[in-house]
Structure 1
Amino acid sequence: MDEFALIPNPNDEKLLQTLSGLDESGQPVIIKVPVERPLTLFLNGQEIVTMMTIGDYPEYLATGYLLNQNMLTLKDKITAIDVDEDLGVVVVRTDQKTNFEEKLKKKTITSGCAQGTVFGDMMERFESIHLNKEAILLTSWLKDLFLKITHQPSLYLEAGAIHGCVLCHEVSPLIYMEDVGRHNAIDKLAGYIYHQNLTTEDKILYTTGRLTSEMVIKTVQMQIPILISRSGFTAWGVELARKAGLTLIGRAKGSRFIALSGQERIKFSPSKF
């Protein structure tokens, strides 16, 4: 796969809105801000959740959400995904209908930005997943990788107030997703991986958001062995990463970082910069 097989589209007028205001000196300014719109997800005939999202790639967001909440498994067959942009609805249809009332009763609010939900049984698969112990991360890759990501045109560079997740292989960024919440961005990534049937056992996930329990759980469920963020950690996120054997790296900028889990995958090599 080539670098940046899928990237954000900062020129999509549906994703950004232009607003006027005043700056600190009282002068008029015009800026762009990301949109937020509700997207209600149905699985067959069951309403699951309404998410606040910028609205791109609803089919990937819906699929990834259901996979990361264990409401779908890799063995389930998706027969159709119907999107109605005017109504703000996406319907995922499978070959077998399932009742999720009991799971919906367990719904709790997470620490994610925008609207995030996590089900009490997200941990069902967590302890049974074995991440690839042979995956490695050369420290010499990092600065080059970060430069490619941060210089890629994006909604963040255009307007800010948005999170990004990037699937990478070695020094190459592959898939770049953005949304108002980091959980939406990673769900879009999970949906893309599912629909494109990509392997993840040798991949790296880069995120702009905090390394929380939710981000760790979803990364492990996607079977990605290395998670990197320019932001910091939460204690439970670190605890879960250590339990799963996930390489967890935070406060990453340039050649600097802090690793709190899975250090055995890191190969310290001289930087080429």
Structure 2
Amino acid sequence: MAKLHDIPYRIAPAPQADGLTRQIVGTDHTGQPAALSVIEERPLTIFLNRREIVTAMTTRDYPEYLALGFLSNQGMLRADDEVTAVDYDEELETVVVRTATETDFEDKLARKTRTSGCAVGTVFGDMMEGLAAVRLPQSTVKTSDLYALSGKINRTPSLYLEAGAIHGTVLCQGSDPLVYMEDVGRHNAVDKIAGWMLRHGESGGDKTLYTTGRLTSEMVIKCATMGIPVLVSRSGFTAWGVDIARQVGLTLIGRLKGKRFACLAGENRLVRDQDPDTVPAEPSKHARKGQAS
């Protein structure tokens, strides 16, 4: 298994961290006692100043990044908003994001809709709002980098390999995975990445976003909103996700396993610099099991 110090992560999964999993004893298919490591999920209520925005089911790690990323991806935090504080209360299970100027989102709250994401994801208002202004850079992505990323990410110790029932999202640059976030909802994992980028002033134009989840409309919208021109997954696509990717000029690559992948949008960015037949087969012990829906 790859050692973490061999992969230049700025944030990597910590599957043994306290509070992320719990041992639960049951029985196996033979009726014998069996202990499993099970993901802990808890509610987290996000406030923007004095207004309660949403309660999400999430893991216990990086709640501040989740709150910042969620608000940013929903258009509630804009580039010119000054964030003065992000206060997390573990006992109350709340995060309060404070800005220099309060903003009224009553209309968006009234138009709340439920998404296709697991863990009851929530978006507000028109999902297409703001996409008309998105201008993604005309960057390139090498197939050799895609193959390298797939191998590195899938050999990294993670909550998924420890317990399953979790999704991962990784912010990448070239062949290097930089920030690896996990959560019970793939949209939450993306929001954590967005929050990290916002807090640290990281731009998305030269990045790739890798996810273990389905390439749905929401995932494409979030990626485009974050300014990231390439979205990659081991999983498959939805038709609307492909339509939106083509509309905004985002490169959408799915079913990346071993040497195989499918690109359904943004083919112009692909630089096919590695013969697929030279790509090693994915070791079965590292192959991820079917992702949780």
Q: TM-score range by the shorter chain?
A: over 0.9
User: What residue is the counterpart of 2:73 in the other structure?
Assistant: 68
* Segments ≥4 residues shifted beyond 3 Å: none
Work out whether 1:142 is the aligned partner of 2:163. Answer: no
Work out whether 1:7 is the aligned partner of 2:24. Answer: no
Question: SS in structure 2 opposite 1:264?
Answer: helix
How much has 1:3 moved relative to structure 2? 1.8
How much has 1:74 moved relative to structure 2? 1.4
Work out whether 1:200 is the aligned partner of 2:204. Answer: yes
User: What residue is the counterpart of 2:239 in the other structure?
Assistant: 235
Work out whether 1:128 is the aligned partner of 2:128. Answer: no
Contact 2:109 2:125 in 1 (8 A): no
Work out whether 1:34 is the aligned partner of 2:39. Answer: yes
User: What residue is the counterpart of 1:178 in the other structure?
Assistant: 182
Of 202, 210, 214, the match for 1:210: 214
Aligned-CA RMSD value: 1.0
Identity of aligned residues (%): 56
Structure 1: runs of 5+ lacking an equivalent: none
Contact 1:103 1:119 in 2 (8 A): yes
How much has 1:137 moved relative to structure 2? 1.1
Of 250, 258, 261, the match for 2:262: 258
How much has 1:18 moved relative to structure 2? 0.6
User: What residue is the counterpart of 1:104 in the other structure?
Assistant: 109
Q: What is the alpha-carbon distance in structure 1 between the residues aligned to residue 215 and residue 111 of structure 2?
A: 23
Contact 1:8 1:178 in 2 (8 A): yes
Contact 2:144 2:273 in 1 (8 A): yes
- TM-score, L = length of structure 1: 0.97
Q: What is the alpha-carbon distance in structure 1 between the residues aligned to residue 83 and residue 146 of structure 2?
A: 37
Q: What is the alpha-carbon distance in structure 1 between the residues aligned to residue 235 and residue 32 of structure 2?
A: 33
1:236 counterpart letter in structure 2: W
User: What residue is the counterpart of 1:191 in the other structure?
Assistant: 195
Q: What is the alpha-carbon distance in structure 1 between the residues aligned to residue 177 and residue 231 of structure 2?
A: 13
Q: What is the alpha-carbon distance in structure 1 between the residues aligned to residue 14 and residue 79 of structure 2?
A: 29
Q: What is the alpha-carbon distance in structure 1 between the residues aligned to residue 11 and residue 79 of structure 2?
A: 22
Q: What is the alpha-carbon distance in structure 1 between the residues aligned to residue 88 and residue 73 of structure 2?
A: 20
Q: What is the alpha-carbon distance in structure 2 between the residues aligned to residue 97 and residue 59 of structure 1?
A: 19
Structure 2: runs of 5+ lacking an equivalent: 1-6, 280-293
Work out whether 1:225 is the aligned partner of 2:229. Answer: yes
Contact 2:45 2:56 in 1 (8 A): yes
- CA deviation map 1:101-157 (0-9, x unaligned): 111001000000002011123422211111011x11111222221111011111001
Q: What is the alpha-carbon distance in structure 2 between the residues aligned to residue 270 and residue 216 of structure 1?
A: 26
- TM-score, L = length of structure 2: 0.91
Equivalent pairs counted in the alignment come to: 271
Work out whether 1:94 is the aligned partner of 2:99. Answer: yes
